[in-house]
Amino acid sequence: MKIEIDNINRQDWDNLITQFDDASHRQTWEFGTISGFNPSHAIAIDDGKVLGCSQINIRYIIPRAKIGYALIKMDPVFTRHGESPNYRILFDLLKAIKVEYGIKRNLLIRIEPPLVKKMKTELHHFLLSEGFVKNNYFTPYRTLIIDLSPSIEDLRSNLLGRWRRNLRKAEESQLEVTQSTSDKDFDILIDLAIDMISRKSLNRSMLAYFCFYKRLQKALPEQLKIQLFMCTKNKQPISCAAVSMIGSVATYLVGASNQEGLTFNASYLVHWHILTVLKQKGINYYDLGGINPRTNPGVFQFKRGIAGKNEWDETFLGEYLGAFNTSGRLVKILYCSLLYTRKSFLRRPA
C-alpha cells in the first residue's frame, strides 16, 4: 500500500468520497475552501484501489513563513461501501499525515478523529503513542444518533410518547413536506431563521451558520448538495431543515420554524419525514447534529424525543494536537491560549 499526497483534482475528490460509508460534508473540497482553508489530500492506494483518504485543511497564520496548522475534522475515511471498516488504513493514514504535515511541512496538526465505535480506546492510545496529546481545552462533539435498521413501524414506536403525540398533531394539520436542493428554498430557510432568532431573542451570530451552509450549497456539485426539507401550510413555508446525506450517516445541519410552524408542530413532521426518506434510501444512521443539554435544553429534549427509547448518545474523542517542531509548538501555544481565554470568559458569572 502507498500513500499519495495532493495527487487528485477537485472533481475526482468529490466523486471519490461518495464511495465511502463514513464520508460526510466535512470531507468535501468545498467545505474546506468555504471555511477559509487550503485543502490538501492524502489517499491510501493498494493495487490501484483507493482504500481510504483524508482531507487536510491547512491555514497559515504567517503565510510567508508557512507557519500554521493542519485541521483534520472527523477524518480520515476508511470504510468503502459494502466493506467492513479497515482500521489499519486509518492508522496508516494518520501516520502519513503526521510525517507529511507535522514533520515535513512544520505545521501544528489538529485532529478530530472520526466515530470509531468500539475502537475508541485503541485509537486514543495510538495517537498518544505517535506523539499527539489530548486537547483538554477542546469540547468534544456530542450528539444523538438514530440507528435506521429497524422497520418504520419500530422506529415510530421507539419515539418518546410526547414526541409521538406532537407528530400525530402535525399529521392532522394538513401540512406538506417537500424535498429540494434549490437556492430559493435556502433563502426561505434563512428567512425562517431570522424570524426564529428574533422571536426567541437568540444571539444573532447563530445566523452565520445558516449563511455558511448556503454558501457551501452554492459551491457543492449536485451529487453532494445539502437536502432541504420544507414544510408548508396552505403553500406558505413554516418550517425547514437542512440535512447532509453523503455516506451512510446523514447529518442534520440547521433548521428553523416560524410561529405558525410552532403552532402546528411542523418540525416534528419535518424530522419524521427526513427519517422516512433516509430509511428508504438505505442510509444506516441519522446524526441529529449535536446536543448540549446544559446550554440548549429545549433542543436536547426535542432530539431526545426522536432518538427515542433506544437513545444512542455519542461523545466523540475530541481533539488531539501534534506539534513536532518549533513552529508547530509555537502555534500550539497560541491556539491553546486562545481556547483557554475563551473558556475562562464563558465561565464568568453573569
Q: Given phi > 0 = left and psi -120 to 50 = alpha, else beta, which region is 246?
A: beta
Banded pLDDT at 304 (limits 50, 70, 90): very high
Banded pLDDT at 347 (limits 50, 70, 90): very low
* Pairwise CA distance, residues 167 & 209, whole Å: 27
Residue 193 near residue 207 (C-beta atoms within 8 A): yes
Give the up-direction half-sphere exposure of residue 119: CA atoms within 13 A in the CB hemisphere: 13
Rounded to an integer, the average pLDDT of 135-148 is 95
Query: What crossing angle do the helices spanning 161-171 and 297-307 adopt, rounded to 10°?
Result: 90
* Pairwise CA distance, residues 156 & 269, whole Å: 12
Rounded to an integer, the average pLDDT of 90-101 is 97
Position 344 pLDDT exceeds 80: no
CB atoms within 10 A of CB 195: 15
* Pairwise CA distance, residues 210 & 25, whole Å: 15
Q: Between the CA of residue 140 and those of 3, 102, 291, what are the distances in Å?
A: 29, 22, 11
The angle subtended at Cα 253 by Cα 137 and Cα 16, nearest 5°, is: 95
Give the residue extent of every domain in the chain. Answer: 2-136+317-346, 143-314
Q: pTM of this prediction?
A: 0.93
* Pairwise CA distance, residues 239 & 166, whole Å: 15
3-state secondary structure of 41: strand
Write down the CATH number for the domain with range 143-314: 3.40.630.30
pLDDT in tens, 180-235: 999 999 999 999 999 999 998 888 888 999 999 999 999 999 999 999 999 999 99
Class of 2-136+317-346 per CATH?
A: alpha beta
What are the start-end ranges of the E strands in 93-184?
A: 108-112, 133-134, 142-147, 175-180
3-state secondary structure of 143: strand
Q: Between the CA of residue 341 and those of 59, 126, 140, 344, 348, what are the distances in Å?
A: 21, 29, 18, 5, 11
Query: What crossing angle do the helices spanning 120-129 and 87-97 adopt, rounded to 10°?
Result: 30
3-state secondary structure of 166: helix
Banded pLDDT at 277 (limits 50, 70, 90): very high
For the chain, give the mean pLDDT.
94
- Asked whether the domain spanning 143-314 has the same topology as the one spanning 2-136+317-346, the reply is yes
Query: What crossing angle do the helices spanning 266-280 and 297-307 adopt, rounded to 10°?
Result: 40
